[in-house]
Structure 1
Amino acid sequence: MLEAGFAARLGSLLPSDRFFTDPVDCYAYAYDNTRKIFPPDAVVFPVTALEVQAVVRLCIEYGTPLTPRGRGTGTSGGSLPEQGGVVLSLERMLRIVTVDPTNRVIVAEPGVINQSVQDAAKSHGFFWPPDPSSAGYSSIGGNLATSAGGPHAVKYGTTRDHVLGLKAVTGGGEIIRTGCYTTKGVVGYDLTRLLIGSEGTLAVITEATLKLTPLPQARGGITAHYRDLASCAAAIVQVMALPQTPSALEFLDSGSLDLIRSRYPDMLPAGARAMLMIEVDGAESYVPEACAAVIFACANEGLIQAEETADAAALWRARKTLSPLLRDIAPKKINEDVVVPVSALPEFLDGLARLSSKYEVANVNFGHAGNGNIHVNLLVDPALPDEMSRAATCLNEIFDLVINLNGTLSGEHGVGSEKRAYIGKEIDAATLTLMKQIKRVFDPNNILNPGKLFP
C-alpha cells in the first residue's frame, strides 16, 4: 500500500491516464513469462527522461521500490515487482529518434519493439542483429536489460555487441550518458556494457544508440537429421570448426521433433531423433560454397540426410512454435538458457539425458547450438510435490554440470529472481562483493529492482 502523500505526489507528476493504482489495472503488470504473480501498488508510464528522473527521485525520497519494465516477456522474473511499490513501465517511450544510415546508427527509446527497429533499418539496407524469438513483441529496453541474443548471435553476437551508447537515469536520480555515437571511443570506463545486462538494477535506460549491420546479399538454409543425439552433437562441433561460420545453427532434440510432428506431421523423416537447422549468409557467390562445406561437415554415421532447404521460412516458423507446444506435455516448464563451450556440447547433452532419466523428469531441449546455448526445459506438474522436488534436484545438478564444463548459467534470459540462488556456483565471493558495491554506487538507496540478481 502506497503512502497517501507519496501517491498524491506521484499523481501530480503524470496525467491520470499514465498513472494506475486500481488493482485491476495494475494486475497486468504483476507477472511475466515465469507465470509468477507479484502485484505492484502502482504503475506509471513516463514518456520522457525527465519524467523517469522525477519518478526515481520521488521513490528515493519515500524509499519506495521501483521496478523498470518493458513488455514483460522475460522468463527469469527480472521485471516482477516482488516487493510491491511502483512499476515503471517504459512501453510508451516509443520514439525512433534518429535513423542515420550514413553512420549506420538508429537511436531509439526503450519502448520501441525490436521488430520496429528491424523494419526501420531494412528500408536502408541494414538490420540490428539481436533477434530473440520474441522480436515481434519484446522491446529494445528489455533486450538491453538482458543483453538478448537469438539464433543469429552465433555469427553476429548479442545485444551488448551492437550498442554504441545509452542515456539513463541512475538509482540515485541522475541522468547520465554513456558511450558515444561513433564505433570507436575509449574515453572513460565502458559504462554502456555495464548497464547492458544489468536488468534494471543500476539505472533506467531512456535512449539507446544502436549500431546497424548491412543486410546480407543472400542466405542459404540447410537441415540435417540424425538417428541419435550423439551423432548430432558431434556434427555441431564439426560445423563450428569450419572457417565458414554459419549465421545460425539451431539444435532440436527428439522431444522437440515429436512436438513439431504433432503440428506438422509430414515435415520430418520418421527416424530422425535429433536435428540441426543451419543458415549461412553473405555474398551471392559465397553462399553456395558455404552450404556445400556445411553439408560435408554434417556427415557422420548417424546422419539420415543433410540438404539445402527450399522453404527455410517454414522451418523457422516450426522452430518458433516449440515453446508454446511444451505445455502440451506438462502444465509448467522450468526453462533455462545455459551455455557451454561448443566442444563440450556432446558431453553436456549426454549428461542432460542421464540426469533427466535419473530423476524421472520430462525434458525437451533446443536452442542456439552454434553458441553452445541450449534451452533446457524441465516439464513438470506443480500439483505433484514429489515431481517438483525431483525437478529442483535435477536442475541443481544440471547447473553443476554446466559449471564443471566451463559454461555459464544464462546466455540471454538473465538472472532476475529465477537464477539468483545459483549464481554463487559461477561467481566467486570477491567478485560478487564488487558487484554489490557497484550496485550501491549506482543505486545507493536500493530502490531499483531490489532483490534481483544477487542471492
Structure 2
Amino acid sequence: MPLPAALLDTLRDIFRDDALSVAEAERLAYAYDNSRLSASPDAVVFPTEHAQAGALVRACREHHVPLVARGRGSNTTGATVPVAGGVVASFERMNRILRIDTDNRLAVVEPGVLNGDLQQALEPHGFFWPPDPSSAPWCSIGGNLACNSAGPRTVKYGSPRENTLGLRAVAGTGEGFRCGTYTSKGATGYDLTRLLIGSEGTLALITEATLKLTPKPSAVRTLRATYTDVGAAARAVARIMAQPVTPCALEFIDDVALKLARDHAPDAGVPVAGALLMIEVDGEPDALPASAEAVAQAARGDGLLELRVAETAAETKALWSARKALSPAQRKLSPHKINEDVVVPVSRLPELVDGVKRLAAKHALPIVSFGHAGNGNLHVNLLPRDDAERERAHAALAELFALVIALDGTLSGEHGIGIAKREFMPLALSGETLGLMRGIKAAFDPDGILNPGKLLP
C-alpha cells in the first residue's frame, strides 16, 4: 500500500534530493537483512541530523505509518526487515565521529559510524571500544547498540550496555531526549541508556551515542587447547573462568565444527580433536607470562590433548586457523543454516553441549556449536541440507530453546530477538514481565509505529 500523498510531501520537505527514495530498486535493497527474511518498505530515507529524525517520527506518527531504523543490515534475526511496510530510515549517512575525549575516556559518535572505522580512529590515541562482533568491518555502532551486539572481548570487557555512557534519541512520540551521563558513575533516575540498548529500535531512534573507551593493552598472548571431547573442554571453560585472570577471549569449537573446517581447508592445520578452546589474555608485557600460565594451568585437566602457546604473530594466526575456516565451511555445507546464539551459566555449559549432541542425533541433523564460551554464549548452528532436514531443524530449534531455559539460560546473547525468536519469548519471560515490557513500549511509542512486529510476542 503506497504512502499517503500528504506524508510523501512532508518527507520531501524533510529529505531533499537523494535523501528520499520510493524507487523499487532502492526499496528492494533495504527490504532484507542477514536473516534472509525480506519485506519491501514503501520508502527509504537517509537522515543526516537529529532534527531530521525527530521530524520523520512526527510525520510517520501523524499518518500512523510504520518506521524502521536500520544500520547496515548485518543482523541475523530479521530485526530490520520492514514486515509492515512503511518507511525505512537508514542511518548510513549519519556517520561522523563527533568527539574523541581521551582525558575522560569517551567518544561521541553518530549511529552510522562503522565499528571498524571507530576502532581505527581510536588506535592512534591508544584506546578501543570493547564490543567487537565478527561483522565489525561493516556493522554500525547504531546496530551494535540496537541489538547489544558484543563479540569475543565481552568475556573481559563487557557488551555495549557496559560500554555506553549516554544516548541522544527520538521516542515514538517524536520527542527528542538525552539520557545517561558523560561520567563513569551516575545514579540519577532510571537508566534509560541501558533500556534503549538491545531494544531493536522499538522504543526510539538513536541519533548519537557517548561511548566509554578502554586503554588498549600493550600485549596479547594466544593459547590453543584441544580436548578428547566437548565435555572436557566445557569443564575447562568453567575452571578458567573460576580463577582470577580473566581472558580477553575464550572461544569454544566442537568436534563437528572442527571436521567441517578441516574438510573445507585441509591445509590450514586444523587439529583433529573432540573439541578446541581458543584463549587470549592481554595486559602489560611484564605481567603477561604469569597471566598466560595461570590460564594455561586452569585449561589443563582430564581430557586435555594438547596445549599450545603462540610465540609470534605467525603462530597466533596459525592457531586461529580453525576459527577462521569455520564460517565458509558452514556456508558451503548449508546455505539455509540457522544460526542461534543461546546463553547458559558457564557452569552449565557441559549440559548444554551434551544436550545439543542429543538433539543432533535425535533429529538426524548436522549441528555445529562454537562461540564465546567464557560468557556461556554458544552459537548453535543447525545446518539443514534439504527440505526434510529443514523441517526437522525447526523442531530441533524449539527443543534447543526449551533446553536452554531449563538450564537457567536465555534465548540470545548478542543477536537479539527480531522476528526469528519472537514466538519463543514466553519461554524466557513471564507474562507479568512481558506485560511490563509492553507498558514501556506504549510509553515510548504510544501508536506502535516503531519497528512493529519485532521483539515482543
Superposition TM-score tier, normalisation by shorter sequence: over 0.9
Report if aligned partners of 2:34, 2:76 keep a CA contact under 8 Å in 1.
Answer: yes
State TM-score, norm by structure 1: 0.97
- The residue number in structure 2 matching 1:49 is 50
Query: Given that residues 225 and 269 in structure 1 are in contact (C-alpha distance below 8 angstroms), is that contact kept between their aligned partners in structure 2?
Result: no
3-state SS, counterpart of residue 332 of structure 1: coil
Distance in 1 (alpha carbons) for counterparts of 2:89 and 2:95: 15
Distance 2:208 2:271 in 1: 50
The question of whether the paired residues in 1 share the 8 Å contact of 2:258 and 2:272 is answered with no
Q: Secondary structure at the match of 2:437?
A: helix
C-alpha change, 1:324 and 1:446, in structure 2 (3 Å) is farther
CA distance in 2, matches of 1:315, 1:41: 48
- Conserved? CA contact 2:247–2:282, under 8 Å: yes
Structure-2 change in CA distance of 1:88 and 1:316 (3 Å) = farther
Matched, 1:334 2:338: yes
Deviations 1:287-336 (A, max 9, x none): 11111122222223322210102332344465244234312112201111
Structure 2, unmatched stretches of 5+, are none
Residue 206 of structure 2 corresponds to: 205
Equivalent residue for 1:403?
405
Distance of aligned partners of 1:316 and 1:21 in 2 relative to their CA distance in 1, 3 Å threshold: farther
Match for 1:343 among 347, 357, 363?
347
The counterpart of 2:363, out of the listed 349, 359, 365, is 359
Structure 2 match to 1:238: 239
Shift of residue 265, structure 1, vs aligned partner = 2.4
Match of residue 117 from structure 1? 118
Q: Distance in 2 between matches of 1:335 and 1:391?
A: 11
Paired amino acid for 2:436: L
In the alignment, residue 367 of structure 1 is paired with which amino acid? G
Is the 1:295–1:307 Cα contact (8 Å) retained in structure 2?
Answer: no
Letter of the aligned partner of 1:334 in structure 2? I
In the TM superposition, 1:28-427 aligns within 5 A as: 28-268=29-269, 270-309=271-310, 310=312, 311-316=315-320, 318-381=322-385, 384=387, 386-427=388-429
Which letter maps to 1:371? Answer: N
1:269/1:261 CA distance change after superposition, 3 Å: closer
Contact 2:131 2:149 in 1 (8 A): yes
Letter in 2 for 1:123: P
Match of 2:438 in 1: 436
Contact 2:269 2:321 survives alignment (8 Å) = no
Matched with 1:445 is: 447
Q: Distance in 2 between the 1:288 and 1:452 partners?
A: 47
Q: Distance in 1 between matches of 2:295 and 2:267?
A: 25
Post-superposition Cα deviations, 1:74-123, rounded to whole Å, max 9, x if no partner, equal 01111110001100101100110101111111000000000111112221
Q: Give, in whole Å, the separation in 2 of the partners of 1:275 and 1:156.
A: 23
* Range with greater deviation from structure 2 (310-319 or 132-141): 310-319
By how many angstroms is 1:21 displaced?
0.4
AA partner of residue 281 (structure 1) = D
Please identify, of 136-145 and 286-295, the stretch whose mean Cα deviation from structure 2 is larger: 286-295
Tell whether the 8 Å contact from 1:240 to 1:370 is kept in structure 2 after alignment: yes
Deviates more, 1:262-271 or 1:143-152: 262-271
> 2:31, 2:39 within 8 Å by CA — same for their partners in 1?
yes
Contact preservation (8 Å) 2:410, 2:428: yes
CA distance in 1, matches of 2:300, 2:232: 9
Task: Summarize the Cα distance change of 1:32–1:317 in structure 2 as closer, same or farther, 3 Å threshold.
Answer: farther
- Cα distance in 2, alignment partners of residues 108 and 12 from structure 1: 26
Question: What RMSD over aligned residues (CA atoms) do the two structures have, in Å?
Answer: 1.4
Q: What SS does the aligned partner of 2:155 have?
A: helix
Q: TM-score, normalised by structure 2?
A: 0.96
Alignment of 1:17-36 (within 5 A): 17-36=18-37
1:427 aligned partner, one-letter code: L
Verify the 8 A CA contact 1:339 1:373 in the aligned structure 2: yes
Q: Check conservation: 1:152, 1:247, Cα contact below 8 A.
A: yes
The residue type paired with residue 16 of structure 1 is D
Q: Equivalent residue of 2:125, what SS?
A: coil
Amino acid in structure 2 at the alignment position of 1:396: A
